[in-house]
Amino acid sequence: MFLGNSKLKVRKAKHATLYTFYCPGCDETHTYQILTPEAENEARAFNGKFSVENWTFNGDFEKPTFSPSLHYATNRRRCHLFLRDGIIDYCQDSWHKYSGQKIPLQDF
């Protein structure tokens, strides 16, 4: 089940909250994962490092900021971005037309 406004869709899972947004560069959605405090403690696997990806969220659904960057890569696609204050800041190593550009977060 998705909750939230039209820019971020929120899904509660057992050990995390998932925040999904539309990426115009890839013409698909991408998702940030925020672990629950209990799951975060369990995810600390080796020398205090996380064994899974985890981000922080500023809690602002109109101008969301997530940290660190999001890097989505397959053999055919690469998208590397920062989402800060509701602006998608695409890194130069993205393989689409918005590489190196800043685009406002869109409704979806």
pLDDT, tens digit, 9 for 90 and up, residues 29-77: 999 999 877 766 666 554 455 555 779 999 999 999 999 999 998 888 8
Q: Is residue 1 part of a domain?
A: no
Structural domain tally of the chain?
Answer: 1
β-pair type (9-12, 16-23): antiparallel
Q: Which residues of 24-50 are buried (b: 16+ CB within 10 A; e: fewer)?
A: bbbeeebebbbbeeebeeebeeeeeee
Q: Is residue 2 part of a domain?
A: no
Q: Is residue 4 part of a domain?
A: no
- The residue segments making up the domain with residue 83 are 9-104
pLDDT of residue 43: 61
Nearest to 13 by CA among 45, 46, 54: 54
Q: Is residue 32 part of a domain?
A: yes
Q: Is residue 50 part of a domain?
A: yes
pLDDT of residue 108: 76
**By percentage, how much of the chain surpasses pLDDT 70?**
81
Amino acid of residue 29: T
Per the prediction, the chain carries an average pLDDT of: 86
**Is the pLDDT confidence value at 81 over 60?**
yes
The secondary structure element, H or E, covering residue 66 is strand 66-73
Please state the rounded mean pLDDT for residues 79-104.
97
Q: Which residues of 86-101 are buried (b: 16+ CB within 10 A; e: fewer)?
A: bebbbeeebeeebbee
Model's pTM, two decimal places?
A: 0.83
Return the CA Rg of the chain: 14
